[in-house]
Amino acid sequence: MPASTERILVSHAGALPRPDALQRLFGAGPGFEDAIDAALPGAVAEVVDRQAAAGVDIVNDGEISKRGLFTGYIRDRMSGFEAEVGGDRPPANAGVTGRDRRDFPGFFAAGFGGFDFKGAMPASEVTSLATQYVCTGPLRYAGTALVQADIDRLTAAAGAHNMTAFLPAVTPGTVEHWLRNDYYPDDESFLGAIADVLHEEYTAITDAGLLLQLDDPDLPDGWQMFPDMTVPEYRRYAALRVEALNHALRGIPPERVRLHVCWGSGHGPHRDDIPLRDIVDLVLSVPAGCYSIEAANPRHEHEWTLWEDVRLPDGASLMPGVVGHATDVIEHPELVAQRLLRFAKLVGAENLIAGTDCGLGNRVGHPEIVWAKLEDLSEGARIASRALFRDSR
């Protein structure tokens, strides 16, 4: 995992805006797959170039090749399930705003909250809420060519700048969010099968020399999905999903892995989110070299004090979100620096990476805002670095 004793490095949590030409192709619907494939190498290079220009040190492909929600791409890389359209079975859970919907029914009934993609999601990529995906047979990995294409494009683009790069992938518990089990005898075997599928994706990424980012909003936001669970019950639920994730990571060096957790990216109350303190030990039980945790969101920014008495695993770094996706207001670099200085005092400046709460690409109002946030994130990291490392220069 990249580290520096001279300055705070800068990265982000994943999704970035697609270049306009590529976005138009994705929005054109079926029949443009070959054109998309032809455009992707140049589009990935453009996205990496923009990250470099914004001052980002650890870059990715912006997840611009992935259709639909960031979880949707894995449906193209698995077999053993079917789409159930318009069925009469109730959803398997209350959804990632379940507790908030219970407590703020008027807010949601009025059409607020949920997942606001600010027009960044073409209609061709939106799956009907009436569609459920059901595991009907043994799950198998079918993504070898697709993940290799992602790897090749990012390796070429990052190599042009001699930059460290990461590829995100989802976790077993997050896949379970949208995949109903009608085949495996119990949760353990179902999660184990998902973990075996994802192990192949994870291994391909790390064997290629890229960092693997595990996107695991499931770990905190599963709490919202089961409104009647107590904290001890939810911890047992979450521990089983962490066990599956650790199974998927078998044989992969922790220093090649970073774990991203957040409370979902819905623009809503979040008053019923589970506190980080209730699950932080589970988060840190995943063998990773870096932990990316939401910390600028107004419901969770106060939790920086938790690190006064929680210790990172030896050799690990913390990437707190010091720029958020919940607002189009661009954080001032001085505020970014203040947030970083808080964490540096608790975990050590050498163990700190400046990050974002979540992927910015689909969450703020316009690509201009995304790139401005990353620029000011980088400037804030420079301000904090001057304060933290000036004695060493």
Domains and CATH numbers, the chain: 9-392 (3.20.20.210)
Least Cα distance to 143 among 198, 80, 63, 72 occurs for: 198
Helices 333-347 and 367-389 sit at what angle, rounded to 10 degrees? 50
Higher pLDDT, 117 or 281: 281
120 pLDDT band (50/70/90 cuts)?
very low
Burial 325-359 (b: 16+ CB within 10 A, else e): bbbeebbebeebbebbbbbbebbebebbbbbbbbb
Q: Are strands 78-85 and 131-141 parallel, antiparallel or unpaired?
A: antiparallel
- Partnered with residue 213 across adjacent β-strands are 168, 258
| pLDDT at res. 71 | 83
- pLDDT bucket at 122, cuts 50 / 70 / 90: low
Alpha helices in the chain (DSSP H): 20-27, 33-54, 98-103, 105-109, 144-159, 172-178, 187-207, 218-225, 231-248, 280-284, 333-347, 367-389
Instruction: Render pLDDT for 124-168 as a digit per residue (tens, 0 to 9).
Output: 555 555 789 999 999 999 999 999 999 999 999 999 999 999 999
Between CA 252 and CA 254 the distance in angstroms is: 6
Task: Assign 113 a pLDDT band (cuts: 50, 70, 90).
Answer: confident
Q: What tokens appear for 181 in the block?
A: 């089990």
Per residue in 244-265, pLDDT (tens digit) is 999 999 999 999 999 999 998 7
What pTM did the predictor assign?
0.95
Nearest Cα to Cα of residue 213 among 381, 359, 346, 50: 359
- φ/ψ of 259, rounded to 5, equals -110, 125
| CA geometry: angle 125, 157, 359, nearest 5 deg | 45
* Mean pLDDT for the chain overall: 93
- Give 40-82 pLDDT, tens digit per residue: 999 999 999 999 999 999 999 999 999 876 788 999 999 999 9
Q: How confident is the model at residue 115 (pLDDT cuts 50, 70, 90)?
A: low
- Nearest-angstrom CA–CA distance, 226 and 343: 32
In 3-state terms, what secondary structure has residue 235?
Answer: helix
316-326 average pLDDT score:
97
- Whether 386 and 354 have beta carbons less than 8 Å apart is answered as no
Nearest-angstrom CA–CA distance, 216 and 107: 27
More confident residue, 323 or 392: 323
Task: Compute the distance between CA of residue 305 and CA of residue 301 in angstroms, rounded to an integer.
Answer: 9
